[in-house]
Amino acid sequence: MRNPPGAACCPASFPEMGNQPSAQALGLLEALLLGLGLGFGYDLLRPPRRRSGGLAAGLLDLFFALLAGGAAFLLAMSRQEGRTGLWELAATLLGFLLYLHGLSPGVLPLLESWYRMMFNTMRLFKKVEKNLRKSAKKTFQTRKNGLL
């Protein structure tokens, strides 16, 4: 069936389908930044994964996978009108690998020391709380028995 005269017949007649290098470059830059952010997120989850057991580490991996997939989906929906091309995925992977091999060796030790300090502080608070419970129990037990 033929198109009526004056009807659009080829992609060149659609102005929104033109080649826009600046928009494509911006999309690739956003994908690269997403990869860098995902690399940092992976480093944030790495120390707790190492300290936890198998099931907790698996749950953290699942959380990261859902986060990464959701972030890629949101990038595709917001920037590329609902489509993700191979170049955007490659730029995201490149950003992730650049972070892991370039920035992570300097950032990960800082994160591990921060987590270690946080866990030690939590352990100290737990010890103080345990001692307070013992002393409160002893005090209230003594009052209950009428010795005070």
Residue 72 to residues 8, 32, 38, 61, 95, Cα–Cα distance (Å) = 34, 11, 10, 16, 13
Cα separation, 125 vs 70, whole angstroms: 36
| pLDDT of amino acid 146 | 65
Residues of the chain with pLDDT under 50: 13-15, 17
Q: What is the pLDDT of residues 30-73, one digit of tens each?
A: 889 999 999 999 999 988 888 887 888 889 989 999 999 888 88
pTM of the predicted structure, to 2 decimals: 0.67
